[in-house]
A and B are shown apart, each in its own frame.
Chain A
Amino acid sequence: MSSLEQIQQDFLQFLLHGKGPLAEHVVNDQGNINAAERVSIYGNAYRVRLQEVVETDHEMLGLYLGDDLFDQMFQGYLDAHPSTFDSLRHFCQHLPQYLATTAPFSEHPILTELASFERLLLAAFDAADIKRATLEDLSAIPPEQWPQLQIRFHPSMQLFTESYNTVSSWQALKAERAPEPATKHADEQHWLLWRNHQRLTEFRSLADDERYMIDQYLTGAQFAEICEGLLTWHSEQQVPVVAVQHLQKWLQQGLIHQFSVAVD
């Protein structure tokens, strides 16, 4: 190993584990601080910088955990997943999975859900800024082609499913209130997150029929097939009304990127 390589390896080992021979490469008798103090400036900066990323990207999770558990989570996560990313924006990418699989956090599944929800908020923020379809685009589709209508959603749209009172806890913390104790729902609840026309990130809950429609459109299903599926929730007369109302709502909220008509 070249001496350049050796120094760099030792530097990394020191940052990751706080030990090793880095200080032996460093001049000791310079000014009022010695080699050990000099290398520790780098060690501290490394931790502080990454801790700030977790605090910023997962602010409500941090509040939910409180200082001590947050520190424990941060130390554990940093040891398990040092950054391999160009940008700090991705540093916490593995945090939901870490919380789901590492005790004591894994004993409280609301934690991994909170982390996932916060990551989706960030994904909505960073997603591509492409054009959104308008009501005129929809009107331009001739009635006979409606059954084959397909949708591509705006890339900022994210779907979230919770088994616990995760989003309401997030909202409470955001409003500086204490969240209710973690409780498991009888049934899973669905949420939709996206960046709106004003480029602000929004989210709202999704009823089962709407979640069904979105899932179907995402897999390439066509209007007519989706109407059939809606019979689970609505009468035959209601189905087309419900289906069209949702298209209009999605357009208003800036959720649709474009329409197309399938050719069979």
Chain B
Amino acid sequence: MKKFLGFGLGLRTNHYVDVIEQKPDIDWFEIISENYMVAGGKPRYYLDAIKEHYPIVMHGVSMSIGSTDPLNMDYLKKLKTLIADVQPEWFSDHLCFTSVGGINSHDLLPMPYTEESLNHVVNRIKQVQDFIGRPMLLENVSSYLTYKTDEMNEWQFYREVCEQADCKMLLDINNIYVSARNHDFNAMDYLQSLNPERIQQFHLAGHSDFGDYVVDTHDHDVPDPVWQLYREALKLFGPVSTMIERDANIPSFADLEAELNVARSIAEQCIPDIRSQIEA
């Protein structure tokens, strides 16, 4: 079963005061887990105030689930503590590796799509889910290269990982678009191959287009082809909790709200009664 939270935003430091003072009409917020793994401070103060009024989901960037390093238990303990404190609707991280030999690249590096890699990642997700005591969501990353050793394509790999590990999908629509451009595949083939039951959340974002390739910068407005793909995803998967993910070049809160309203109206065009399906 998947819970439909409605339309949310990534909570960013420069919008704390807007959110607390204006109580904007946003259905939920996503936080970056690592930013709150501190004793307290400003971030925790504001989060505590904001979670009084809004459902929260947690999104991590440092689990490094695909790495051949041992699982970072220190990190997982901090994550488990934070989950206990925040009581999020769910938590997520990316299908990628970030750390090698204890060094964190702070980037979402692509996995080779092989049986070896599949087994490795599935085992680790199971361990994480057992340790945390809840299922997780796994997000597709954008990529700029294809390994020679690949035995399957990205969506076959992603689908298999989530089926075998029994975890949910956080589908970043922009990342699919970016990878489709960089690897010259049809984004619709990707979407159509996925199991609707698995898809729990969408990210919408923008990117930088360099002509020959596209970089997932998450620092622009959502562009038309990503909105178009969002329409197709709604038709295929029904109501899925949707948010705008802006990581850099962050606009005013009002601008993000306006962008989220675009998502709402597109969703209503695809599924007319979608707003009534939001579970409080």
Contacts and interface: CB of A to CB of B under 8 A. Distances in A.
Interface stretch (A36-44, A104-112, A208-216, A237-245): A36-44
Given A4-B120, A32-B212, A87 B62 contact: yes
Interface in B10-58: 34-35, 37-45
A3 B149 contact: yes
A12 B105 contact: yes
Contacts of A31: 182-184, 212-213
B45 A3 contact: no
B215 A41 contact: yes
Interface in B107-125: 107, 109, 111-112, 114, 116-117, 120
A82 interface: yes
Nearest to B69: A8
B78 A49 contact: no
A12 to B, nearest CB: 4
A126 interface: yes
Contacts of B41: 125-129, 156, 195
B272 interface: no
| A-side interface mostly | helix
Interface residues of B, number: 45
A86 B100 contact: no
B103 A12 contact: yes
Interface stretch (B139-147, B161-169, B253-261): B139-147
Nearest to A130: B40
B144 A8 contact: no
Nearest to A91: B106
B131 interface: no
Contact of A25 (B75, B117, B147): B147
Interface in B143-165: 144-149
A31 B105 CA distance: 27
B133 interface: no
Given A4-B117, A41-B215, A87-B62, A27 B148 contact: yes
B129 interface: no
Nearest to B146: A27
Contacts of A130: 40
A31 B67 CA distance: 28
Contacts of A50: 106
Contact of A11 (B37, B109, B213): B109
Contact of A12 (B45, B100, B120): B100
Given A3-B114, A86-B34, A87-B35, A8 B106 contact: no
B97 interface: yes
Given A45-B107, A86-B34, A199 B144 contact: no
Nearest to A199: B42
B106 A7 contact: no
Given A25-B147, A49-B106, A199 B184 contact: no
A83 interface: yes
A26 interface: yes
A8 to B, nearest CB: 5
A156 B106 CA distance: 27
A195 B39 contact: no
A199 B183 contact: no
B103 A26 contact: no
B20 to A, nearest CB: 11
A35 B147 CA distance: 10
A30 B182 CA distance: 9
A35 B103 contact: no
A84 B45 contact: no
A11 B103 contact: no
A9 interface: yes
B265 interface: no
Interface of A: 2-5, 7-9, 11-12, 15-16, 25-27, 30-33, 35, 37-39, 41-42, 45-46, 49-50, 82-89, 91, 125-130, 155-156, 195, 199
Interface of B: 34-35, 37-45, 62, 67-68, 72, 75, 78, 97, 100-107, 109, 111-112, 114, 116-117, 120, 144-149, 182-184, 212-213, 215
6 contacts: A45-B107, A45-B215, A82-B104, A126-B42, A129-B42, A130-B40
